[in-house]
Amino acid sequence: MQIERRDFLSTLTLAGAATLFSGNPLIAATSPKKDKLGIALVGLGYYSTDLLAPALQLTEKCYLAGIVTGTPSKAEAWKAKYNIPDKNIYNYQNFDQIAKNPDIDIVYVVLPPSMHREYVVRAAKAGKHVFCEKPMAPSVADCEAMIAACKSNKVKLAIGYRCQHDPNIQAYMKVAKEQKFGKVKMVNSAAGYFDARTDHWKQKKALGGGCMGDMGVYALQGARLATGEEPISVIAQASTTRPDIYKEVEETMMFMLDFPSGARAACQTSFGINMNYLQVNYEKGWLKLEPQSGYNGNKGSMSDGTIINYPIKSQQAKQMDEDCLAIMNNTDLIAPGEEGLRDIRVVEAIYKSVATGKSVKIS
């Protein structure tokens, strides 16, 4: 029944389909100036399944047009659930053929971090705009290659920093920008959760695991966005309380950042500790957020009595819609590849600090 419907659709003329199925995204995707961009999710793990796909039912500027997966059973389940035509379902071998598919405007790479570079570059070469999950990649070199590939193929590259689309996070970014309470003096930024899994990519170095990339970028973003500055040096310590599980990567990372203005930050991240908060102490006040990087419910307060509590329906839907608008209108992305690179530059310095036991300058 499903298959028949898709076959039927594919034989329709565009005009006829548009008439018959007005508002159907499958048709909109093929129009010259689309109302909604078609997104193909690459990698159908937890985040795609439980966050992005549901969010794509809420988006106004994009829709779930396709999937890329190496697991045939997942392909079957998704195509049934989301009515995805076979022609928009790819595996990792035939992925590059996506270049010829007009339904797909954007490839959203949701793979383990070690695979981001390859799939971002392949997507860019296929002429597709790219969304890439955080952490952008395991290395600065990877990030630079990804940015270069998107640039040379004239496609946009957005990093999946959902929080930067969250008005609760934007509230403290604004405080930094306007210097509402004067200079930032001290930031404390923590983001971690207890991960009970024992055999996940997050625990494997080769796949880009470790808490620093996965949760640590939230702790880092807390400090970077609260100061509105880029750190100039970092000293870090990695630790593990479950050495049987965290053999290759750190369970916990603590790091201290030094900013050009004299602001400083203490950041903590972990796969062993439930914690998620931001505290900023300014010259003339303070700001708190807890949680600071939740999928929802981020909220807080400021020393002048301002309450930060802007509920949003879906961070991810807002993120994808805003990124799609930037693509449609050819305007600046909120979190382009360069923003992902800024974090990875610090992450690389953090690992260097762990290796040397000393403070590391960030160039």
CB of 209 to a copy of itself, least distance (A): 20
Contact string 215-254 vs a copy of itself (x = CB under 8 A): --------------------x-x-x-x----------x-x
CB of 84 to a copy of itself, least distance (A): 41
Cβ distance to a copy of itself smaller for residue 153 or 281: 281
From 78-86, 89-97, 190-198, 318-326, give the range in contact with a copy of itself by CB under 8 A.
190-198
User: Cβ contacts of residue 328 below 8 Å, gap of 6+?
Assistant: 34, 37, 61
Sheet with 157-159: list strands edge to edge.
89-90, 62-68, 37-42, 106-109, 129-132, 157-159
Cβ distance to a copy of itself smaller for residue 44 or 254: 254
Cβ distance to a copy of itself smaller for residue 220 or 254: 254
CB of 292 to a copy of itself, least distance (A): 12
CB of 179 to a copy of itself, least distance (A): 15
CB of 359 to a copy of itself, least distance (A): 6
Q: Does 363 bind a copy of itself (CB under 8 A)?
A: no
Contact with a copy of itself (CB under 8 A): which of 118, 144, 258, 338?
258
Q: Within 126-145, which residues bind a copy of itself (CB under 8 A)? A: none
Contact string 286-325 vs a copy of itself (x = CB under 8 A): x---------------------------------------
Task: Write the DSSP string, 210-244.
Answer: SHIIIIIHHHHHHHHHHHTS--SEEEEEEE-S-TT
Peptide bond into 291 cis (omega under 30): yes
Looking at the DSSP bridge assignments, the partners of residue 275 are 192
Closest CA to 279 of 270, 262, 291: 291
- For residue 165, report the phi and psi dihedrals to the nearest 5 degrees: -95, -5
CB of 49 to a copy of itself, least distance (A): 28
In this structure, which amino acid lies at residue 232? I
Number of residues near a copy of itself (by CB under 8 A): 31
First to last CA, the chain: 58
Residue 335 Rama label (left phi>0; alpha psi -120 to 50; beta): beta
Contact with a copy of itself (CB under 8 A): which of 25, 113, 210, 272?
272
Q: Quote the Cα angle for 161-163-169, to 5°.
A: 140
Q: Within 38-77, which residues bind a copy of itself (CB under 8 A)? A: none
Q: Does 361 bind a copy of itself (CB under 8 A)?
A: no
Contact with a copy of itself (CB under 8 A): which of 277, 289, 326, 351?
277
Q: Catalytic residues, which ones?
A: 134, 218
Distance CA 90, CA 326 (A): 26
In this structure, which amino acid lies at residue 221? Q
Length of the chain equals 363
Given a contact cutoff of 8 angstroms between Cβ atoms, the answer to whether 155 and 182 are in contact is no
The site for a copy of itself (CB under 8 A) is made up of: 185-186, 188, 190, 192, 194, 235, 237, 239, 241, 252, 254, 256, 258, 262, 264, 266, 268, 270, 272-275, 277, 279, 281, 283, 286, 357-359
